[in-house]
Amino acid sequence: MPASGSLVGMGLLIDYFVAASDDDARTVLDHGLGGRFASTDGSGVEPTAALGQFEELLTGRTFDEQLGDPASYEVIASSEDNEVAVIRLEPGFVQVLADADPPTLDRLALPWSKIEEFGGMADAADAADFLHRLRGLAQTAVPGNAGMYCRISL
């Protein structure tokens, strides 16, 4: 794993987090998470192309179907210069992720770690670790009817 703690070396700063509402999630646009939300580092895991491919592996919902769904990876806030954005993860995906068992995540980590967005070189163990952390967030979000989001910045 690169020193940044990401699956692959990448210049984007990405955090996945749980917030009670879109309005709460939008507050991270200007000031970051600031420890106010349950979160995990997602550096190296871009929320549409990279995470979307994992969603396809987990749910069978194709990447094209995700792109055609306005609720999939919807940008709910962005800075004027477009250097920071907050993206909502589709609630159906969050539910399936919360329900996924650890062996399934471990099994899917290997093919997911080989996607083009990771240069085909991500470590499967690092991918599995991230997926387990993301599942933990989903399990936090679902019971409270909260949402899962991603803050991405250049």
pLDDT above 80 for 6:
no
- CATH (one of 3.40.720, 1.10.3470, 3.40.1760, 3.30.710) for 13-153: 3.40.1760
pLDDT above 90 for 7:
no
Largest pairwise CA distance in the chain: 42
pTM over 0.85, yes/no: yes
Give the model's pLDDT for residue 4: 36
**Two structure tokens written together for 3:** 């020193």
Taking residues 122-143, what's their average pLDDT?
96
Residue 2 or 87, more confident: 87
Query: Domain limits of the chain?
Result: 13-153
Computed over every residue of the chain, the mean pLDDT equals 91
Taking residues 83-89, what's their average pLDDT?
96
Give the model's pLDDT for residue 2: 35
Which pairs from 64-69 meet CB under 8 Å and 24+ separation? Answer: 66/90
Task: List the strands of the sheet with 39-41, edge to edge.
Answer: 39-41, 13-19, 147-153, 84-88, 74-78
Whole-number Å distance between alpha carbons of 44 and 63:
19
Give the model's pLDDT for residue 101: 97
pLDDT above 70 for 5:
no
Taking residues 73-99, what's their average pLDDT?
95
Taking residues 102-116, what's their average pLDDT?
96
Taking residues 43-49, what's their average pLDDT?
89
At 10, is the pLDDT very low, low, confident or very high (cuts 50, 70, 90)?
Answer: low
Taking residues 6-33, what's their average pLDDT?
87
